[in-house]
Structure 1
Amino acid sequence: MEQYIEIKSANPDCLLFYRMGDFYEMFFDDAEVASRALGIALTKRGKHLGQDIPMCGVPIHAADDYLQKLIALGHRVAVCEQMEDPAEAKKRGSKSVVRRDVVRLVTPGTLTEETLLDGRRSNFLAALARVGAAENAAFGLAWIDISTGVFRVAETQAATLAGDLARIEPREILVSDQLLADESLRDLLRGLGPSVTPVPRATFDGATAAERIGRYFAVATLDGFGAFSRAELAAASGALAYVERTQVGSRPPLDPPRRESAAETMAIDAATRANLELTRTLAGERRGSLAAAIDRTITAAGARLLVERMASPLTDPDAIGRRLDAVGFFLDEPERRGAVRAVLAAAPDISRSLSRLALDRGGPRDLGHIAAALAASAGVAGSLASADAPAEIAFAAHALAALPADLAETLAAALADELPFHRRDGGFIRPGFLPDLDEARGLRDESRRVVAALQADYAAETGVKSLKIRHNAVLGWFIEVAQAHGEKILAENAATRRFIHRQTLAGAVRFTTTELADLETRIASAADRALGLEIAAFDDLVARVLAAAPRLKAAAEALAIIDVSAALAEIAEREAYVRPKVDRSLAFRVRGGRHPVVEQALRAEGRDPFVANDCDLGPVGSDEAGRLVVLTGPNMGGKSTFLRQNALIAVLAQMGSYVPAAEVEIGVVDRLFSRVGAADDLARGRSTFMVEMVETAAILNQAGPRALVVLDEIGRGTATYDGLSIAWGTIEHLHAVNRCRTLFATHYHELTGLADRLPRVVNATVRVREWKGDVVFLHEIVPGAADRSYGIQVARLAGLPEAVITRAKSVLAKLEAADRQNPRAAVVDDLPLFQAVAPRAAAPAAPDPALTVLDGLDPDAMSPREALDALYRLKAERARAAKG
């Protein structure tokens, strides 16, 4: 307990997994927390200060499963291992304690185990640093995935910090205690929840940042890595310090830090990412997101790269063009694409296996993954060897061809077909690879056969056919012959001492030989020796793999690029996507555009095909600014779908994908804003309308001429005239100040009049058709303005009671009639709904209660008995009214 308490005191913020034999034990508060979190029994072991010590434990072989649960719940775990064999500890005295120490801290952002990671998602650890005074502060962001070696840095500002974190999606964020206390960041950091890990301010010491980074990568200067700001260096240094602390002496094979510039990628804030459901839906599910709709990747690394590209669309048309060339190459060669994808299906995750091997957490299967990936790489390189491939594919193929062939041959020759998970299990080296190992295994597995062969040799040598080799616990292995034969053997070997006398019994004599004694020793230690030889061979193979790590990492990146390009070609062919034209103009012309997610959902449900629509947001005439489309039409008509699909087409085009349309031309979008849907933020004290206004304010304050803005129903969360006024002012500001390409959906039909006053404002509407009192949604976007919203028809489709629908029609008719005459006060007086608040000189006569009951009846929906009951109620109400 003294040892446990000492180690626990050094790791107070972690649950301590304390190794005791075949279990990890937890004591005191850790045991109580873990037993509740894991649903395991809480027991007790001994006493401390007169109190029972709570205890619980998990078996070593199932530790990963329990770690996964604890990490998912936001806990951090310190793994404390036995650093010596218990037999060694006993040599120091019978009461000596086995030496133990923490070998690793397991946190959400530092996972490497295959069982704890989602292979198709990155697992980033991020660090946030601030340099300078609060009003002029610069923020540095660094993010590392130690499971793959990715290491990136960027500089950001307070206004864009939330969007950057949403793009990276870190599992864990390191923040200094100073920043946590900053009021200006309180809401943002609180919203990140348990993923925030507080660290001392000194972790981000800018004065020693460059030195720490250089020491990690064993370089004297960082000039070879690029130019970094003070904030970026501080963040990178803080991230490395945390990695070194959690890995306790082990050094993950990280890539040198690579700087990302905000100008290189399309800026998408957190609200827009959520509204557009890029990687997950508003419900938090991957199904129904854009990522799920277009992901046809074969490999885990390819899936991660696809999401990374989607999260950070490019703004350089040339770079976008190179990606589109790669997709087009595979689209034009379906047979080659099929062959490459078939080979990729056998390519495991090189990067994560390489990282585990470098951290000494890998096993035989990781070596097997490397071997399989090498074979797949050779197959892919062979498939591309004769192709006239574009630059991106040619570069990837070159990286694959540069892999060491001798390493692939060695791993193939050394590794067995079936590989265990842990090296301690043995049996992973192929027979015939190591002669010494084969001998040890022969002694271990076939000792009877070896002894029988030796027995036959001795019988032939002595001429004693009855000679036997036997074994007992006292003598071990020995030769036994009848007494008469024994005396003969003793006499014949008196000079050579070939057979050494061990024991004489009544009727039998026992001997041994030097050879048999050696065999006995080898048999006794054969299992340990076989395992030792395998582990030595494992270590040698790991060393060879790590020596080729740079080329292997390049190959891993190449396979991911090829996988993504082929996958995007696959979906382009299946879904009839086209290559977009992306340039530096302000064009935004989509002909026959479709929503990639909705289109697939309709097909899966066997419903009518998706209705494609055109969209043109490019400049009007010679004006160097995009147009603003005011879109009106009924609910359920498809306005929100139209808004989202054009935003998603921009994302797809600039990430380097073909797009769901007949023809697309897009001038690079540098910022994408989307305000679609309603949501509150009660935790931060924000109503739905307040959230809407905050997001609208961000758009109006940040959007520039190259931005694409998608707005839906601005102003709907407040009173009608307030909302209309806000929407009106927003359009004017977007037109005159932001001058950006905009889609603005609204139910305020009055806003369509702005098209007559503002030159870049145009009207569009959703076509509908009325049929026998019902509305038919055609989902077509056409020029013009809607004159009705058809809200009552939609309410009927939703299942509102017919009495409510009938009353709503009555109220609507009076409101519309009053609106034509424009006497608003008369309308209020005429509608009983508003009588309680309408000012008047005298109260009007109360309505007849019988008529009120009558208005709520639907004769077509009543049974004869219900009709008779209703008639009695009418008579009763009429009688009461007459008495009153």
Structure 2
Amino acid sequence: MSSQALYQPAESPATPETSASKTVPDNRVTPMMAQYIEIKAANPDSLLFYRMGDFYELFFEDAEIASQSLGIVLTKRGKHQGQDIPMCGVPVDRADDYLQRLIGLGHRVAVCEQTEDPAEAKKRGAKSVVRRDVVRLVTPGTITEERLLEPGRANYFLAIARRRVSDTQWCYALAAVDISTGHFVLSETDGAGLSAEIARFEPREILVPDVIHDDPELAAFWRETRASITPLSREGLDPASAERRLKEHFGVATLDAFGSFSRAEITAAGSALFYIEKTQIGSRPVLNPPVRDNAGAALAIDSATRANLELTRTLSGERSGSLLATIDCTVTPGGARLLADRLAGPLTHPGLIHDRQDAVASLVENGDLRDRLRRILKRSPDLARALSRLGLGRGGPRDLACVRDGLFAARDLGLELAITPNLPKELSGAAELLQSLRTDVAERLAVALAEDLPLLKRDGGFVRAGFDQSLDELRELQQDSRRFIAALQARYAAETGCRTLRVKHNHMIGYFVEVPQNVGEDLLKEPWKDTFVHRQTMAGAMRFSTLELGELESKIASASDRALRIELGLFDTLAQDLIDLSADIARAAEAIAVVDVTAALADLAVRLDWRRPTIDTGLTFHIRGGRHPVVEAALKREGAAFIANDSNLSGKDAGHILLITGPNMGGKSTYLRQNALIVVLAQMGSFVPAREAHIGIVDRLFSRVGAADDLARGRSTFMVEMVETAAILNQATSRSLVILDEIGRGTATFDGLSIAWAAIEHLHEANRCRALFATHFHELTALADRMPRIANATLKVTEWNGEVVFLHEVVPGAADRSYGLQVARLAGLPLAVVERAKTILSELERSDRESPKRALVDDLPLFAAPVRTQPTQPKRDPLREALDGIDPDQMTPREALEALYRLKAQQ
């Protein structure tokens, strides 16, 4: 449908103000526009969806923004202070589609509805404006509509507060709330871990007090984050007000039953509730009591590492191709969200990890139980989000059915688990919750709800016949009326002799008799003029009303209205019954998700031959036959096999560093990433793609892989690389795992070599962490001879008939070259360029043989002593000084050849 056809200005008897604007001089404000301006002034930071009949209208700048964002026609409506009023609109019944697009573009929307019957407005005068008010603010972090949400992704918003711990340090508290499911989580972190903690929740919106938003040290972060940032004033955000708001919301006298919270956490939680009250305007979502995440309970993964490893999204922002998409075998929306949550925040407590592993192992071993559970789970809809919509007053008949079906699935899961002996801790806990759940409400819903349910409760017809006697009587009256209309039409046709006479209905004049115009002329005369009262003359037809039709219409309208009122009353009663059980239903929804994730990970392990890793508190890191899960899945689709590789970074008091050299396209980056992903999978409680894995708990995971720039912040590829490397070197501990790829390659050769060299030394001497370091600086392999916890490894490659063959096998040792020319030829570089490069390479290698780089490296003082000693001054060497002044990366082939001749002349 074209945008021109999509939008037509509202024309409704509900808005007597539509004609008022035409009679008021240009220099005056119409009553309708005065109302609009007043409401808009109260919501200046939102696009105002102003309800007029069957459309939400937007005016002035809002209309211009929406028109451009949605691709709909911008028109005008009258004048305001002598100027045309820009206007556009969207149909009410399709508003969700447009809201989704606007929210996706970062806009906020205030939904303004008519709050009184138009008939009441008319009683105040012909030009009276129907009362309207904003009933809801729609923001990225507070949407609940099914069509606006991703089923398998949580929709968190974060509220942030902080407290000072020293003159130079702050502690930050985060309250993460997903009102679509009721999840409410509190956590604390220091300034260095703030970005990692925010990245763990992947929020759609962040509430930031003005004092934090304007902090110069954080201002750049708020500008650059992908989440929508909403600044908050200080008013009402103090700990005392926040604590009072929390107690009132949950109806408790003290927060002690929920746990021990810091003042900053209470402030953040209170700010979150304040925002919910502000956006939901009188509606009260079903929220779980806040749960505290203990500091250090989750593996810290900063946003750069998450992006590099493509945990939940690829670098292009797509879910497909990510680790999450590869391992997600869940069959319920709640299970998919829990899996994503566990992947985003792997555990650091071995006991809790073992509990999850035990549950997965039990379903790996008991395939029949796993299959039965998954069959039941497939019948379980999104229980948590349906309950949330009902609690907010936005639910419909299908949400009632959703909760009904979810409760029945919970009952069946509980019965299945009840007859299974020796359940592990995680599954037995879920079984207890499911078995204790009341199902009498679900049984009542099964009796009450019809088979085919409308989307909206206002449409009626969702209560099953036989459930309510008074409703059945009114429905029978409606049916009798329809039969009477048919009989009346037949009688009128017989009496007038007009076989084409029809009794019809529209919203303007109600029921009427329609006949061809020639027959209508006769009905205006005796003996029919007293029976048929003329209403309208159409092109080729005339319309009449009768006394009998008027009486019948009144009876039908009365029966329909009364029937709908009864249905709506029954809906409210049934919804309230569920809301009264919301705490139990929420716990059941969580238990269903736990069972789903456990069964899905067991199914994954069986199908892909994943094994249970050993997790302990040591510094072991030993993987046999490790594989990259995403790459392996892609190769399997193409019918190819993945080459598995071992990795050993184990140490007693400090981790080892594996220095990896090898050809381009040999698989270094894949090898780096697969070891990091195995850690994430292991600590989230999953089996892993390896023959065997023994991992000492990793507290922080760092990844610097690949090349990217950040032009918006004025950062080159090399600058981004250095910023991320600095974060790693400043934060990694002896329990961390670090993977680094090609550090220093973005600048001149000797600059880059020196940076990579110093970074390895710092990792070895200061951080003392487990690390994988891939490089093309072959000179660095000499470090393995001089530092005890560094070992060399390389990717095997062979040549066959002049072609390079990558074997993707990691073996001990160092590479002798990078095979860059062969890769360049495979990439399609012109043959002339490749041949010329061979010539230049031959000259460079000959020069190197005559003045070897190895000798240069051996002479450098940093290799002769640990980094903690002072280097001695090398002897002056003019040839080396000339070499230092050459930057090969910035030279043309001709310039490089000329430089070689100059160097040769200095010998």
Question: What interval of TM-score do these two structures reach, taking the shorter chain for normalisation?
Answer: 0.7 to 0.9
Following the alignment from structure 1 to structure 2, what is the Cα–Cα distance between the partners of residues 14 and 171?
A: 17
Identity of aligned residues (%): 60
**Structure 2 counterpart of 1:68, one-letter code:** Q
Aligned 8 A contact 1:299 1:345 in 2: yes
Following the alignment from structure 1 to structure 2, what is the Cα–Cα distance between the partners of residues 533 and 78?
A: 31
Residues 505-556 of structure 1, C-alpha deviations (whole Å, 9 max, x = no match) = 9xxxxxxxxxxx9999755511111111111111110011111111110110
Q: Work out whether 1:86 is the aligned partner of 2:115.
A: no
Q: Secondary structure at the match of 1:544?
A: helix
Name the counterpart of 1:3.
35
Distance 1:635 1:158, change over 3 A: same
Aligned 8 A contact 2:237 2:267 in 1: yes
Name the counterpart of 1:501.
none
Aligned 8 A contact 2:63 2:86 in 1: yes
Following the alignment from structure 1 to structure 2, what is the Cα–Cα distance between the partners of residues 590 and 713?
A: 23
Residues 674-705 of structure 1, C-alpha deviations (whole Å, 9 max, x = no match) = 11111111112211111111111111111111
Q: Secondary structure at the match of 1:264?
A: coil
Name the counterpart of 2:45.
13
Distance 1:630 1:529, change over 3 A: same
Q: Secondary structure at the match of 2:708?
A: coil
Following the alignment from structure 1 to structure 2, what is the Cα–Cα distance between the partners of residues 239 and 530?
A: 40
Residues 122-150 of structure 1, C-alpha deviations (whole Å, 9 max, x = no match) = 11111122333772222221111011011
Q: Report matched runs for 1:259-408 at 5 Å.
A: 259-388=292-421, 389-408=423-442
> Pick from 641, 662, 674: which aligns with 1:633?
662
Aligned 8 A contact 2:206 2:227 in 1: no
Q: Report matched runs for 1:247-646 at 5 Å.
A: 247-388=280-421, 389-447=423-481, 523-606=556-639, 608-619=640-651, 623-646=652-675
Distance 1:629 1:448, change over 3 A: closer
Q: Report matched runs for 1:20-35 at 5 Å.
A: 20-35=52-67
For normalisation by structure 2, the TM-score amounts to: 0.83
**Structure 2 counterpart of 1:206, one-letter code:** P
Following the alignment from structure 1 to structure 2, what is the Cα–Cα distance between the partners of residues 373 and 684?
A: 48
Following the alignment from structure 2 to structure 1, what is the Cα–Cα distance between the partners of residues 178 and 84?
A: 42
> Pick from 125, 132, 135: which aligns with 2:168?
135
Distance apart, 1:52 and its partner CA: 1.9
Aligned 8 A contact 2:454 2:462 in 1: yes
Q: Secondary structure at the match of 1:579?
A: coil
Q: Which deviates further from its counterpart, 419-428 or 814-823?
A: 814-823
Following the alignment from structure 1 to structure 2, what is the Cα–Cα distance between the partners of residues 76 and 605?
A: 44
Following the alignment from structure 1 to structure 2, what is the Cα–Cα distance between the partners of residues 272 and 795?
A: 29
Q: Secondary structure at the match of 1:198?
A: strand
> Pick from 717, 722, 745: which aligns with 2:774?
745
Following the alignment from structure 2 to structure 1, what is the Cα–Cα distance between the partners of residues 504 and 331?
A: 59
Following the alignment from structure 2 to structure 1, what is the Cα–Cα distance between the partners of residues 482 and 827?
A: 81
Q: Secondary structure at the match of 1:263?
A: coil
Following the alignment from structure 1 to structure 2, what is the Cα–Cα distance between the partners of residues 683 and 342?
A: 49
Residues 353-385 of structure 1, C-alpha deviations (whole Å, 9 max, x = no match) = 111101100000000100111121122222222
> Pick from 752, 757, 768: which aligns with 2:797?
768
Name the counterpart of 1:875.
none
> Pick from 129, 132, 135: which aligns with 1:97?
129
Following the alignment from structure 2 to structure 1, what is the Cα–Cα distance between the partners of residues 803 and 619?
A: 41
Aligned 8 A contact 1:187 1:684 in 2: no
Distance 1:823 1:323, change over 3 A: closer
Distance 1:520 1:625, change over 3 A: closer
Distance 1:754 1:350, change over 3 A: same
Q: Secondary structure at the match of 1:431?
A: coil
Following the alignment from structure 1 to structure 2, what is the Cα–Cα distance between the partners of residues 836 and 682?
A: 35
Distance apart, 1:202 and its partner CA: 2.5
Aligned 8 A contact 2:840 2:897 in 1: no
Q: Secondary structure at the match of 1:722?
A: helix
Residues 618-663 of structure 1, C-alpha deviations (whole Å, 9 max, x = no match) = 11xxx41121111111111111111100000000000011100111
Distance 1:522 1:698, change over 3 A: same
Name the counterpart of 1:232.
265
Following the alignment from structure 2 to structure 1, what is the Cα–Cα distance between the partners of residues 264 and 667?
A: 45
**Structure 1 counterpart of 2:242, one-letter code:** A
Distance 1:251 1:649, change over 3 A: same
Distance apart, 1:283 and its partner CA: 1.1
Distance apart, 1:730 and its partner CA: 1.3
Distance apart, 1:789 and its partner CA: 1.3
Name the counterpart of 1:817.
846
Residues 685-742 of structure 1, C-alpha deviations (whole Å, 9 max, x = no match) = 2111111111111111111111111111111111111211111111111111111111
Following the alignment from structure 1 to structure 2, what is the Cα–Cα distance between the partners of residues 635 and 178?
A: 49
Distance apart, 1:774 and its partner CA: 2.2
Instruction: Provide structure 1 residue ranges, at least 5 long, that are not aligned to the other structure.
Output: 454-470, 477-503, 506-516, 845-884
Q: Work out whether 1:670 is the aligned partner of 2:681.
A: no
Q: Secondary structure at the match of 1:115?
A: helix
Q: Work out whether 1:807 is the aligned partner of 2:836.
A: yes
**Structure 2 counterpart of 1:183, one-letter code:** P
Aligned 8 A contact 1:26 1:56 in 2: yes
Q: Secondary structure at the match of 1:262?
A: coil
Following the alignment from structure 1 to structure 2, what is the Cα–Cα distance between the partners of residues 207 and 447?
A: 62
Distance apart, 1:46 and its partner CA: 2.3
Distance apart, 1:338 and its partner CA: 1.4
**Structure 2 counterpart of 1:662, one-letter code:** R
Distance apart, 1:179 and its partner CA: 2.4
Equivalences, count: 786
Following the alignment from structure 1 to structure 2, what is the Cα–Cα distance between the partners of residues 661 and 724?
A: 34
Following the alignment from structure 2 to structure 1, what is the Cα–Cα distance between the partners of residues 275 and 554?
A: 49
Aligned 8 A contact 1:124 1:143 in 2: yes
Name the counterpart of 1:488.
none
Aligned 8 A contact 2:107 2:139 in 1: yes
Following the alignment from structure 1 to structure 2, what is the Cα–Cα distance between the partners of residues 27 and 149?
A: 35
Distance 1:587 1:22, change over 3 A: same
**Structure 1 counterpart of 2:451, one-letter code:** D
Following the alignment from structure 2 to structure 1, what is the Cα–Cα distance between the partners of residues 555 and 479?
A: 12
Following the alignment from structure 2 to structure 1, what is the Cα–Cα distance between the partners of residues 824 and 553?
A: 89
> Pick from 786, 797, 801: which aligns with 2:815?
786
Q: Work out whether 1:654 is the aligned partner of 2:683.
A: yes
Following the alignment from structure 1 to structure 2, what is the Cα–Cα distance between the partners of residues 658 and 71?
A: 38
Following the alignment from structure 2 to structure 1, what is the Cα–Cα distance between the partners of residues 80 and 663?
A: 72
Q: Secondary structure at the match of 1:208?
A: helix
Instruction: Provide structure 2 residue ranges, at least 5 long, that are not aligned to the other structure.
Output: 1-32, 488-502, 506-510, 512-529, 532-549, 854-878
Name the counterpart of 2:78.
46
CA RMSD of the aligned region, Å? 2.7
Following the alignment from structure 1 to structure 2, what is the Cα–Cα distance between the partners of residues 716 and 43?
A: 56
Aligned 8 A contact 1:443 1:450 in 2: no
Residues 72-128 of structure 1, C-alpha deviations (whole Å, 9 max, x = no match) = 111111111111101112222222221111111011110011111111111111112
Following the alignment from structure 1 to structure 2, what is the Cα–Cα distance between the partners of residues 399 and 556?
A: 10
Runs of 4+ in 1 over 6 A off after TM superposition: 450-453, 517-521, 826-831, 841-844
Following the alignment from structure 1 to structure 2, what is the Cα–Cα distance between the partners of residues 452 and 38?
A: 46
Following the alignment from structure 2 to structure 1, what is the Cα–Cα distance between the partners of residues 352 and 648?
A: 24
Q: Work out whether 1:159 is the aligned partner of 2:197.
A: no
Aligned 8 A contact 1:415 1:429 in 2: yes
> Pick from 753, 772, 797: which aligns with 1:724?
753
Q: Secondary structure at the match of 2:296?
A: helix
Following the alignment from structure 2 to structure 1, what is the Cα–Cα distance between the partners of residues 56 and 719?
A: 50
Aligned 8 A contact 2:203 2:227 in 1: no
